[in-house]
Structure 1
Amino acid sequence: MASSENKQSSKDWKKEAFNDFLYSMDRLLGEKPIKGLLQSMDDFFATASKEKSFPVELSETENEYLVSAKLPGISREQIELEFFSQTLVISISHQELEMEENQSKGIFKKHSATRRLSHSVAFAKPVMGENIKANHRDGLLEIKIPKVRGKRIQIIE
């Protein structure tokens, strides 16, 4: 009888200790410095993902995938395409150079910024990476990726 009471009190003690731990963690993470830090991290990751990409459309026919991206104001030289086993990576880099010179005041200001955005497209079916064709005209990038034709297998009764 005493043995079962000891087991029960041991379980109660562990449960109470665990509840105390959860309460302490809840208080720690809910206090202002930590809560502010966690909110800042959430905000950072929410905005970072929006700014690091651009809209891409993927369509599919029987023989190929067609990837298209509207890139207004981006020249062909600013676009980089890379293919890694089953994944196409489209990257664009946009460089801004701002110069201001005021000789009468002896001020020269130069500001340079480079922004790099990328988007990855993974393909569900095997594709022929060596036969990819890309075209960029009037701000529209179109990429055709041929599919590998598999052998159809007939199911016999």
Structure 2
Amino acid sequence: MSSRSNPFEEMERLFERMSRQFEEASHKLESESPLGGLASGGESMAIDLVEHDDEFVVTADLPGFEREDVEIRMTDHTLRIDASHEESIDEEDEEYIRHERRQQSVRRSIRLPGEVDTDNVTATMQNGVLTLTLPRRESEKGHTIEIE
């Protein structure tokens, strides 16, 4: 078996290096965006928020992600969804071996228009669609203070 040199190998490495630099620059620009963390990563996450009398329902499109790739946090009135996924592709041919890695991550934070009963939130994921049901919590009416 003789080893042949690929005349385009150097050019291929140059394009890969340029591609990495563009990717790093775009991630830096996204993190400095005035939207500040609403959406980050190579792609954005489409979200629908529906308000019912007794609950909010959030659906988020996460194609290519599995339930174990997703983390959900509730803080005050803010819902935060993080998803991260890494995959490897091994490809073997007579003339070369190739190993590619792809890392995909998205993050989205949305402010909810009301208080949520965090103890009773439910989440399901089916076919890349995350559905959260967030029951409303009765906001306290306040407390009357008598003047002495």
TM-score with structure 2 length normalisation? 0.60
**Hey, what does 2:114 align to over in structure 1?**
125
Q: Paired residue for 2:48, among 57, 69, 87?
A: 57
Determine if contact 1:56/1:70 at 8 Å carries over to the other structure.
yes
Superposed displacement of residue 113, structure 1: 2.2
Determine if contact 2:121/2:132 at 8 Å carries over to the other structure.
yes
Superposed, 1:44-83 pairs within 5 Å as 44-45=29-30, 51-83=42-74
Bigger radius of gyration among the two: 1
Bigger drift between 54-63 and 89-98 goes to: 89-98
Where 1:109 maps in the other structure, the secondary structure is strand
Superposed displacement of residue 138, structure 1: 2.8
**Hey, what does 1:145 align to over in structure 2?**
134
**Hey, what does 1:134 align to over in structure 2?**
123
Q: Deviations over 1:81-135 (max 9, x none)?
A: 1222221111222222122334x55x43322121110111211222122221011
Determine if contact 1:79/1:91 at 8 Å carries over to the other structure.
yes
Determine if contact 2:41/2:107 at 8 Å carries over to the other structure.
no
The runs of 5 or more residues in structure 2 that have no matched partner are: 1-24, 34-38, 143-148
Superposed displacement of residue 52, structure 1: 4.5
The runs of 5 or more residues in structure 1 that have no matched partner are: 1-39
Aligned length: 109
Which amino acid is the alignment partner of residue 111 of structure 2?
A
In the TM superposition, structure 1's runs of 4+ consecutive aligned residues that sit over 6 Å from their partners are none
- Alpha-carbon spacing, 1:70–1:49, altered in 2? closer, same or farther (3 Å): closer
Where 1:96 maps in the other structure, the secondary structure is strand
Determine if contact 1:52/1:118 at 8 Å carries over to the other structure.
no
Where 1:130 maps in the other structure, the secondary structure is helix
TM-score with structure 1 length normalisation? 0.57
Q: Paired residue for 2:101, among 104, 112, 119?
A: 112
Determine if contact 1:83/1:129 at 8 Å carries over to the other structure.
yes
**Hey, what does 2:3 align to over in structure 1?**
none
Alpha-carbon distance in structure 2 between the residues aligned to 1:149 and 1:130: 13
Superposed, 1:81-120 pairs within 5 Å as 81-102=72-93, 105=95, 107-120=96-109
Where 2:119 maps in the other structure, the secondary structure is helix
Alpha-carbon distance in structure 2 between the residues aligned to 1:89 and 1:101: 40
Which amino acid is the alignment partner of residue 147 of structure 1?
R
Superposed displacement of residue 51, structure 1: 3.5
